[in-house]
Structures are given as structure tokens and as C-alpha cells.
């Protein structure tokens, strides 16, 4: 179902389109790059390494190698770190004799061999992030979560709960926080102000991830926590898209709307099917790019949801949140 109404942001093949956010944002990058559009990558896999390692090491998943940026506060801090105005107190995690970056632990799956290697790579990484913000024509951000774990000393936000697969959980330092509407809106407005200050011509496209939470730290069912989180994020996106240069694309509604009968979700009720992603991207290209996605079919009618016995092709994305199950 095409839910796009009225004038929209226009993306041309020459526009440098940068992406960040939750795992669902990876689909936009994937389809842009495979369709001849300019997915703007500022941090690429070094030449000696085989392309087969690209995804495993976080290259090309987003415009730079920062992994999932789930919350608005995390996005603000990424910008500030890139421009040298914020340096978290937590510089590294040691695990099995290797060193991890607390703010992108999954991009180096085996960790760095030394702290010097980590710090040198961080300098290169943040320079790439800075270039992304300075030079992109379109910045696409998918709001993913309101729940986060923070360092109580300086408020630094981690992409995953320390101690879940990566690092060690320390009760005196690591605190859970669930951002509300006012906080999320303020953080996004702060970020947009900072971005426009360094890149006045940039156009911003917001989406909300339709992927439900995999777990919650709230004392409630994860389905209830998901409803709260998505309601906050969708309301924030709605408020922001009334501002000049900020647009909203309704991928959240296209995937999770009741009229789909759950057809876009896999058997676990959480993972998004490739067919669902392709349907969303068909509308994305038709409405925002003025082009047809190669091989695009007509939008689905209301289809039955997949069952566990069906062979379902799921979208291939990297999700840091899955570390909560580790």
C-alpha cells in the first residue's frame, strides 16, 4: 500500500545519501547502492582485505563504520565525538586479551590486538564520520529505540547493554534509561541544529524502524515496551517533519500496519521479510527517486502471515540489539 501523499524529498543519482540508525536503515543503503544511486560511504574496507569480510567488520553497512545508532542521544554524541566536543570517559573494554570500542563493539568481532590499534582506528573512524556529516546531500536516519544503557559518570550512551556479549556490566557505572518524548525530541532538534550548522544545505529524511524490541529492561512485557518506544519515536518524527528540510518516509506504517495481516514479518514476529523490504523500497524509489525499482512487482494485497513451517527469506541486516540474547 502506497502511503506517501503530497510533495516529498527528491533524491537524484548524484545526491550523496548518508545513512545511520537502527538495523532497518541498512535496507535503504543496500537498495540505493545496488540501483545505481550514490550511497555515500566515507569509511571503506582497506584494499588488502577481501570484500567477503566487509559486512562482518562493519564496512558499507552504514556510511561510516559506527554500527547501529539506535537512540537520538547516541546520534548527538556521535556527532559531538566526530567534531571533538565530547570524549567519553570509557575509552575501551578488555575481553579475553583483546580490546573493544565501547561505542561500536560489533564492528571488530575479534577485538583489537592492542589499545594503540583501537585508538588509531578510532581517529580514522571519527574523521570519516565528520566527513559524512560535512559532505552528504541527504542524511537518512532511522529512529530505532528509546531504551539505552549509559555511563552514569558522563552520560555516554552505549549501543548495547555492557555485559551482554560485549564488555562487563558494572552496577555502579552502567545505568538504564528509557528516553521519553520530550528528551528524544530535544535530542533530535539539538542534532539537527548541529548538522545544519556545518552543512546548511543538507536534507534530512527520517524513518522509524518497524522491528520490535528483542528485549526490554523495563518491568513489563517486551510487546508493551515496544508499543511505548515506537509511539515516542513516531511522534517525534511527526513533530520534526514539520520543520524546514526535514521529511518523513512511512516505512514503519507500510511494514507494521494492521492491513498487512503481519505478512511482512518472519515466523518470529520480529524479523522483516525481504519481500516486505522490497515492497517498501519500491515505493521509496517511485516517490522519492522518480524511478522504478528494477524488477519491482505490484504492491501486495493483504496476505496471511508466514508460519514457522514456511521458508521465509528474511532481510539480511546486522543488528547490535541481538547481543542482548548473547
Residue 163 located in a structural domain = yes
Strands 138-143 and 17-21: parallel
Predicted pLDDT of residue 305: 47
pLDDT of residue 296: 54
Give the Cα separation of 249 and 31 in Å (integer). Answer: 15
Spatial neighbors of 152 by CB under 8 A, at least 6 apart, are 172, 173, 174, 175
55 found inside a domain: yes
Distance CA 211, CA 216 (A): 14
Residue 11 domain-assigned? Answer: no
Digit-coded pLDDT (tens) for 223-232: 999 999 999 9
pLDDT at residue 304, rounded to an integer = 47
The total number of structural domains that make up the chain: 1
Per-residue cell: 112: 583489537
Residue 321 has a pLDDT of 55
Per the CB < 8 A criterion, the answer to whether 282 and 293 are in contact is: yes
269 lies in some domain: yes
Which of 17, 8, 14, 233 has its CA nearest to residue 139?
A: 17
Three-state DSSP class for 225? helix
Domain that holds residue 45: 17-304+314-325
Task: Tell whether 7 is covered by a domain.
Answer: no
Between vectors from CA 248 to CA 85 and to CA 143, what angle results, nearest 5°? Answer: 50
Would you state the pLDDT for residue 30? 85
Question: Are the beta carbons of 142 and 207 closer than 8 angstroms?
Answer: yes
3-state secondary structure of 111: coil
What is the reported pLDDT for 295? Answer: 62
Edge-first strand order for the sheet with 157-158 is 157-158, 147-151, 174-178
Is there a domain that residue 130 lies in? yes
Show the low-confidence residues of the chain (pLDDT under 70). Answer: 295-326
Helix orientation angle between 72-82 and 181-198, rounded to the nearest 10 degrees? 30
Q: Which residue has the cell 554524541?
A: 77
Give the H or E element holding residue 139. strand 138-143
H or E stretch at 19: strand 17-21
In a domain, 4, yes or no: no
Q: Has residue 8 been placed in a domain? A: no
Residue 292: DSSP 8-state? P
Residue 98 pairs in a beta bridge with: 95
Helix (H) / strand (E) containing 203: strand 203-208
Quick one: which of 174, 188, 179 has its CA closest to 145?
A: 179
Amino acid at each position: 500500500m502506497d502511503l506517501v501523499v503530497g510533495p516529498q524529498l527528491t533524491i537524484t543519482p548524484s545526491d550523496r545519501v548518508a545513512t545511520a540508525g537502527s538495523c532497518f536503515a541498512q535496507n535503504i543503503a543496500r537498495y540505493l547502492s545496488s540501483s545505481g544511486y550514490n550511497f555515500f560511504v566515507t569509511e571503506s574496507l582497506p584494499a588488502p582485505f577481501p570484500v567477503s569480510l566487509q559486512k562482518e567488520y562493519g564496512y558499507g553497512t552504514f556510511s561510516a563504520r559506527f554500527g547501529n545508532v539506535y537512540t537520538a542521544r547516541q546520534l548527538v554524541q556521535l556527532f559531538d565525538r566526530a567534531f571533538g566536543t565530547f570524549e567519553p570517559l570509557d575509552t575501551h573494554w578488555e575481553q579475553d586479551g583483546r580490546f573493544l570500542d565501547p561505542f561500536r563493539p560489533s564492528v571488530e568481532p575479534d577485538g583489537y590486538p592492542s589499545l594503540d590499534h583501537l585508538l588509531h582506528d578510532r581517529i580514522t573512524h571519527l574523521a570519516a564520520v565528520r566527513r559524512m556529516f560535512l559532505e552528504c546531500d541527504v542524511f537518512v536516519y532511522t529512529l530505532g529505540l528509546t531504551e539505552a544503557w549509559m555511563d552514569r559518570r558522563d552520560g555516554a550512551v552505549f549501543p548495547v547493554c555492557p555485559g551482554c556479549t560485549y564488555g562487563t556490566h558494572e552496577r555502579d557505572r552502567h545505568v538504564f534509561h528509557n528516553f521519553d518524548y520530550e528528551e528524544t525530541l530535544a535530542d533530535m532538534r539539538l542534532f539537527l541544529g548541529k548538522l545544519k550548522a556545518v552543512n546548511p544545505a543538507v536534507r534530512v529524511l527520517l524513518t522509524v524502524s518497524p522491528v520490535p524490541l528483542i528485549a526490554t529492561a523495563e518491568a513489563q512485557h517486551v510487546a508493551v515496551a515496544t508499543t511505548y518506544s515506537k509511539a515516542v519515536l513516531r511522534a517525534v518524527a511527526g513533530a520534526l517533519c514539520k520543520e524546514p528540510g526535514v521529511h518523513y518516509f512511512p516505512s514503519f506504517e507500510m511494514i507494521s500496519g494492521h492491513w498487512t495481516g503481519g505478512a511482512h514479518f518472519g515466523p518470529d514476529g520480529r524479523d522483516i521479510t525481504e519481500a516486505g523490504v522490497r515492497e517498501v523500497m519500491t515505493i521509496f524509489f517511485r516517490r522519492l527517486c522518480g524511478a522504478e525499482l528494477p524488477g519491482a512487482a505490484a504492491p501486495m494485497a493483504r496476505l496471511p502471515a508466514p508460519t514457522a513451517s514456511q521458508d521465509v527469506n528474511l532481510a539480511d541486516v546486522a543488528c547490535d540489539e541481538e547481543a542482548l540474547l548473547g
